[in-house]
Amino acid sequence: MVERQKQQKPFEEPPYNGILCIDKPRSYTSFDVIARMRGILKVKRLGHAGTLDPMATGVLPILVGRATRACDILPDQEKAYRASFQLGLTSDTQDIWGKVTAREGVPKIAQSHLEVVLDGFRGQIQQLPPMYSALQVGGQRLYDLARQGIEVEREKRSVEITRLQLLEFSAEQQRGVIEVQCSKGTYIRTLCHDIGQALGCGAVMTALRRIQAAGFSEKDCVTLEQLERLVKDGRMEDYLHPVGEAFAPLAPVWLDTSRTRMFLNGVPLDLRKIRWPDVQGRGTVRVMGSDGSFLGTGELDREAGVLRAQKIFVGR
């Protein structure tokens, strides 16, 4: 009797797992990218690392298959952006796509003055989250309230600007470009707005491109159109990064064969019997198997003397 061949399900899980870096196009939301990739890859399990506004472009890491387990624990939370700004304007969204609320005309800010003001935005700074943001207050998104004309009180948050460089500035047009490296949760349009306030003339962001996220940069990215061609040519896996790459900043713990099996079964491991880094107290580490492969992340508890599994990326 000939066994009838099983028909493949439309979204059957593929034999690959990892991270695909997409160069997000303008006017797409991060979820739009996910939806299109589901159609391209025929994969249901997809997630993204770091939302980008629709008008922004650039690095959007997409987690595929088991890599989606890493969405909330990626260790490298710093991001980098290239943003354009226009002095002399203020808008309700703090960017050029919102409603202009103040127009100062063309101010006369010298580059030397701008450089002095920028210095005050380096390091730890306080930001007031904009009303047009996805933050929730009382169970409602701020942007939903803002669209109803409702403004609510928000608390300032501490963010870190590790690098802020003026790349271009036109004194005649009062336009410029900055490059920013910052902590998670930093609003670049708010940064542009606050710089404008400090200059006394207002400012709006006119373009935004993310150039680094989760340890990946522009050189790691492909466009959605390129991805379609790669899938068609059977070369997509050439651009699929192992999920372990994203955890390279974490200190490694190396396991032998027996303890590799124990870790994958969720068994706490005695620190006296494994090689572990000099981490004080508790800490998250990347766990490497006996064959040198990345198994997942673990919680190193020096006080209790054990390593506990945190997230496992091997197996379903």
Residue 4 per-residue DSSP state: P
Select from 265, 274, 279, 313 the least CA-distant residue to 293.
Answer: 313
- Residue 285, phi then psi, degrees to nearest 5: -130, 160
Note whether 211 and 81 are within 8 A (CB).
yes
Note whether 159 and 186 are within 8 A (CB).
yes
Active site residue 92: no
**CA distance linking residue 224 with residue 77, whole number of Å:** 24
Catalytic residue among 23, 53, 95, 220: 53
Encoded amino acid at 123, one letter: G
Going by their DSSP bridges, the two strands 175-182 and 157-170 should be labelled as antiparallel
Q: CA separation (Å) from 165 to 75, 115, 118, 121, 247?
A: 25, 9, 8, 11, 28
The token pair that represents 301 in the structure block: 């508890």
Residue positions annotated with a catalytic role: 53
